[in-house]
């Protein structure tokens, strides 16, 4: 049945002031600049942003899978296990990571087209995962695996005996999703789960994710640039821009009453399915290079509401409503009125 409401009040994940930087040929770039949020044990959080905003880096950091040239220079990623112990993922050692990964927290990567070892059968790779975590009972692993595969609408006998290249992209993605739940993790991170898939498969994946959450009850972070996806799957949505969360709110609040110009821009870029046709606006300009961020608010160059204050002082993420946070000086002026092109330079402190 529905397993739910474990340690209701304690978040399973707490990220505090996380700063991640990359060392490249051109110097040091901060991909994540002070991110903080909490995640409840059965909650689904969407992290939405354009490419290069740091969302994938954030996802990798939660698993400790950052590439060699990236470092976490500040902040904490606090994870709480089922029996109440708290780990700081930032400070885990190699061996501790191997226990942590997949068992407590799993990740499904973008486009599982190449997520499987081409020379091993799927079943062998499942066994690898089980063995790595000390599960030696093959029958139990097999049963669990078959149950999960059926939940994602796949035929276990066919899939487990196949090599990865014998399955289609959508099938591989679903196998990956099933595999991610093999060890019953508390938290699963999905990085662009529906990108690079055709529209029918996308629908299938969304349905699968929805029913899995209902059936098994785990916390979910999914990373995407696709805002409508958040509407389908998320309880809360965070929009990310230039390495920071600029708005964080329950899904309905965000969609009906955004409090950040960037979120508004994202919403207006998608035409409404029902109702009269409106002008579809895209956000002018392009995201800033993380190596050369403008002073003050990083969104100011593209923002219609920008004031001199915005351009000189970076707005902190603060409460603008019930469980609604925004990093904007002019948040109260943000409105979803589609017919208005310019709102004038009203300045609010």
Partner 1 sequence: MIKRLEAAASWGQLLRGLEHRSVVSHAPRVIRRIASAYVLRRLLKAILTVWIVVTTTFFLVRLMPGNPVEVYIHTLISQYGFTYDEAANQAASLFAFDPDQPLVLQYLDYMRSLVRGDLGQSLVSPGTPVSSILLRYLPWTLFSAGLGLFCSFVLGLSLGMLMAYRRGGVIDHLLTALGSFFQAVPNYLVAIVLIVFLGVQLGWLPVTKMRGAVSPGVQPGLTMAFVADVLYHAALPVLTYVLTTIGSWMLLMKSSTLSTLEEDYVTVARARGLSDGRIMRAYVGRNAVLPLFAQVAIAAGFVVGGSVVIERIFVYEGIGFVLLDAINRRDYTLMQAIFLVITVSVIGANLLADLLYSRLDPRIRRQTAEGER
> CA dist 304 to 122, 129, 308, 346, Å?
51, 50, 12, 10
Nearest to 253 by CA among 326, 319, 335, 324: 324
Q: Which stretch in 25-33, 102-110, 205-213, 300-308 sits in contact with partner 1 by CB under 8 A?
A: 102-110
Looking at 19, 74, 92, 132, which residue binds partner 1 (CB under 8 A)?
132
CB 310, min distance to partner 1, A: 38
Q: At what angle do helices 122-132 and 169-180 cross, to 10 degrees?
A: 20
Q: Which stretch in 99-107, 145-153, 210-218, 272-280 sits in contact with partner 1 by CB under 8 A?
A: 99-107
- Residue 37 pairs with which residues in a beta bridge? 15
Q: By CB under 8 A, what part of segment 57-96 binds partner 1?
A: 63, 65
120 is a site residue for partner 1 (CB under 8 A): yes
Q: Which stretch in 22-30, 113-121, 200-208, 269-277 sits in contact with partner 1 by CB under 8 A?
A: 113-121
In the β-sheet with 13-24, what is the strand arrangement from edge to edge?
A: 27-39, 13-24, 70-80, 86-88
> CA dist 69 to 31, 75, 90, Å?
12, 18, 15
222 is a site residue for partner 1 (CB under 8 A): no
99 is a site residue for partner 1 (CB under 8 A): yes
21 is a site residue for partner 1 (CB under 8 A): no
Contact indicator for 49, 86 with CB cutoff of 8 Å = no
Residue 102 or 325 having the CB closest to partner 1: 102
Looking at 128, 155, 207, 323, which residue binds partner 1 (CB under 8 A)?
128
22 is a site residue for partner 1 (CB under 8 A): no
CA neighbours within 13 Å on the CB side: how many for 174? 29
Neighbour tally for 196: CB within 10 Å: 14
CB 195, min distance to partner 1, A: 14
CB 128, min distance to partner 1, A: 6
115 is a site residue for partner 1 (CB under 8 A): yes
Do the strands 13-24 and 70-80 form a parallel or antiparallel pair, or are they unpaired?
A: antiparallel
133 is a site residue for partner 1 (CB under 8 A): yes
Q: Which stretch in 44-52, 163-171, 235-243, 259-267 sits in contact with partner 1 by CB under 8 A?
A: 163-171
Q: Is 78 exposed, middle or buried (0-12, 13-18, 19+ CB in 10 A)?
A: middle
Looking at 91, 140, 165, 348, which residue binds partner 1 (CB under 8 A)?
165
Residues within the interface to partner 1 (CB under 8 A): 63, 65, 97-103, 106-107, 109, 112-120, 128-129, 132-133, 163, 165-166, 176, 179
């Amino acid at each position: 049945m529905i397993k739910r409401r474990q340690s209701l009040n304690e978040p399973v994940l707490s990220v505090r002031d996380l700063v991640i930087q990359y060392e490249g040929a051109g110097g040091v770039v901060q991909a994540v600049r002070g991110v903080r949020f909490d995640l409840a044990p059965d909650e689904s959080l969407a992290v939405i942003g354009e490419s290069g905003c740091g969302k994938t880096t954030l996802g990798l950091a939660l698993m400790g899978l950052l590439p060699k040239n990236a470092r976490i220079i500040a902040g904490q990623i606090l994870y709480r296990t089922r029996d109440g112990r708290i780990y700081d993922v930032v400070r885990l050692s190699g061996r501790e990571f191997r226990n942590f990964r997949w068992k407590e927290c799993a990740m499904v990567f973008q486009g599982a087209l190449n997520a499987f070892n081409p020379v091993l059968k799927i079943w062998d790779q499942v066994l690898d995962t089980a063995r790595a975590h000390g599960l030696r009972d093959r029958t139990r692993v097999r049963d669990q695996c078959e149950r999960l595969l059926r939940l994602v609408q796949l035929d276990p006998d066919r899939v487990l005996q196949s090599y990865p290249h014998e399955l289609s992209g959508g099938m591989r993605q679903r196998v990956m999703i099933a595999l991610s739940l093999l060890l019953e993790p508390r938290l699963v991170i999905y990085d662009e789960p529906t990108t690079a898939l055709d529209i029918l498969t996308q629908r299938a994946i969304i349905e699968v994710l929805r029913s899995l959450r209902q059936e098994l009850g785990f916390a979910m972070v999914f990373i995407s640039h696709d805002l409508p996806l958040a509407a389908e799957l998320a309880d809360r949505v965070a929009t990310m821009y230039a390495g920071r969360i600029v708005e964080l709110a329950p899904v309905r609040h965000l969609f009906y009453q955004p409090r950040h110009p960037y979120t508004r821009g994202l919403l207006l870029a998608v035409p409404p399915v029902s109702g009269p046709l409106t002008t579809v606006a895209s956000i002018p300009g392009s995201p800033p290079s993380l190596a050369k961020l403008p002073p003050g608010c990083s969104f100011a160059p593209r923002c219609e509401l920008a004031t001199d204050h915005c351009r000189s002082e970076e707005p902190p993420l603060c409460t603008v409503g019930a469980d609604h946070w925004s990093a904007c000086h002019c948040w109260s002026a943000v409105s979803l009125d589609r017919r208005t092109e310019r709102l004038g330079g009203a300045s609010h402190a």
